[in-house]
Amino acid sequence: MGDDVTVLEQLAAPHLTARQDFSAAFVAMNRIKDVLQVDAHVPVAPVFTLCEQVVASPAYQRQKQAYFLYQAAAEALQLVALRPDPGGRSADRRRALALLNSGMDLPHAAPRRAMAEALGMLPLAVDSLPVASEPMAEGVSASLDGLPRCDVDWLAGYHIHCLNGWVWQGRSLLAETRSGEVLVVKCLRAGEEPIALCRESAWMDHLRGLPALVERPFHIPQPLVHGRGVLVQAPRVAQSPPDGTTLHPKRYAIAFLTAPSYFRYPNEAAANRRLDGGQVREILSRSAWLLGRLMAMGIAHTAPIPLFHNRAQRHRREDGGRYRWTHAGRLDRWLASCRYPNFGVSGLRDFEHFEVVTGRSRFRYEIIGSHLISLLLVAGSYFRSKAPDRMGLDLSGQPVDTRDLFDRSLLQTMIGDIYRAYYEGFTGDVFPEGASITPSHLADRMIEEMGLDRHMEEILRVVDQDAMDRFTFTSFLESRGLPRKAALRKTKGQRDIVLMTGPHLGGFNQAISLPELIDFAAAGAARCVAGRFCLEQDRLS
């Protein structure tokens, strides 16, 4: 042990001066990590001293590769926090966590990112459990011929009697029932596999059996199950989905009963359905709590709203164009993404997006951040939904200014509600008194960026055009607002096409124009994980 102490002191000492060499500090920090990994009992005072100096040094902050030094420092502190503590002396752990926490308040992005990732990827008790399997998605047999059609006679066997006719809601057919519930027939899209619908039904059954969720109102639909599983054929109706969705030619679907509030959203524009600020606060807070509680159980809702970096390139990108907030890129069509969030008056919805995440700490950290971003975006969209026609550019080409629609005080309160509720749902503990929440600056920046539609352009690259046939190309342009005649006149593959599809948060293939949203997601996710980690460690001490 004595030799190791000497090594740590020798590694740290040369850098505790006014002039530091970046490369040497980087090598030293990684060697310190090696020592910490080999000997879990070595005294760590030199680690704290060097990490404090590294984080505070302006000389390091100016380096292009500064993030990697901060990452090494953060990982060294994480190793200290993870050291065994058989005697119950947690002073080193507390100091390491305090240094990581304080690093997230620095003015420079690189140390904030490194410290947040180290905290956000701390292991939790749920990670040590055997990796849970997702609920069995039964109901897909070798042959899907002869499935029952969801018609009057079949429904009568469940004592379900529908009132009036079918109504489309997205890709789902809805009918009121005599019992006051809503019958939903959710149809499979063209190109999708039936297992996706079966998985959603299985999650409904699984979640209905979890007592931990009854602390907050959360209505979970009841799937209709028959002898061959859950798949049915959708009823024949004359109309097609009004949103243009193409359904699977076999009309595969699942049917379930749910509450009328299942399709009530927090940001509806229609005057007869619009909720007041207090109701929206409650929905955002409760949804944050539910998302956090499920994450603590190793279950993630991976799409509270659809988040994309670039929808136009989704078919040729490995990530499908989905948004990775840790990359801080431009957020595609943020307002459109909020139109039908997967949470509302009844609680969470669209259970096809649930996924088991135990043992995947990085994924968990990124999902928590995505949850916080999604909730804040919907909060912003609530104010924009007061005047949905005020959008885009005016006749002179200037951004339409909708900042007057925002209530700064209410938005600031929503931000605090979301963070507190998520923290409490995820940690299972009350939000700590005096914890740092400073939503005023974030609220101001959200109003500035969400209230002015500065970024409207999307570019359809030639390479993406070449991947489309003529019908798909024309349909794509029409879906982006181009009149049919204009779409037909476009020559495919000749040049990049600029489309006005925003508002986006950031220019095409550029950074997000609201980096404060990324900072909030990183710090919020990190502190949620760290809060639960500390509670678990305290129970073990």
Q: pLDDT tens, 157-189?
A: 999 999 988 999 989 999 999 999 999 999 999
Q: In percent, how much of the chain has pLDDT > 90?
A: 55
356-380: average pLDDT? 95
**HSE-CB of 167 using CA atoms within 13 angstroms:** 11
Q: In which band, very low, low, confident or very high, does the pLDDT at 133 lie, cut at 50, 70 and 90?
A: low
Max mean pLDDT among 297-311, 373-387, 490-504 falls in 373-387
Max mean pLDDT among 91-95, 107-111, 288-292 falls in 288-292
Per-residue model confidence (pLDDT) at position 127: 81
Q: In which band, very low, low, confident or very high, does the pLDDT at 105 lie, cut at 50, 70 and 90?
A: confident
Q: pLDDT tens, 496-507?
A: 988 899 899 999
SS3 track for 472-539: HHHHHHHHCCCCHHHHHHCCCCCCCEEEEEEEEECCCCCECCCHHHHHHHHHHHHHHHHHHHHHHHHH
Q: Which residues of 280-304 are buried (b: 16+ CB within 10 A; e: fewer)?
A: bbbbbbbbbbbbbbbbbbbbbbbbb
**Between the CA atoms of 528, 531, 535 and 540, what dihedral angle is there, to the nearest 10 degrees?**
100
Q: pLDDT tens, 417-464?
A: 999 999 999 999 988 876 666 788 999 999 999 999 999 998 888 988
Q: pLDDT tens, 389-416?
A: 999 999 898 999 999 999 999 999 999 9
Bridge partners, 172 (sequence order): 169, 186
Checking if the pLDDT of 138 tops 60, the result is no
Tally DSSP H helices, then E strands, for the chain. Answer: 18, 12
Q: In which band, very low, low, confident or very high, does the pLDDT at 222 lie, cut at 50, 70 and 90?
A: very high
Which of the two residues, 265 and 45, has the higher pLDDT score? 265
295-320: average pLDDT? 80
Q: Rounded distance, CA 46 to CA 112, Å? A: 22
Per-residue model confidence (pLDDT) at position 1: 47
Q: Taking all residues of the chain, what is their mean pLDDT, rounded to a whole number?
A: 88
- Beta strands 343-344; 162-169: pairing state: unpaired
Q: Is the dihedral of CA 428, 431, 432, 437 positive or negative?
A: positive
Q: Rounded distance, CA 214 to CA 200, Å? A: 20
**DSSP 8-state class, residue 237:** -
Which of the two residues, 22 and 277, has the higher pLDDT score? 277
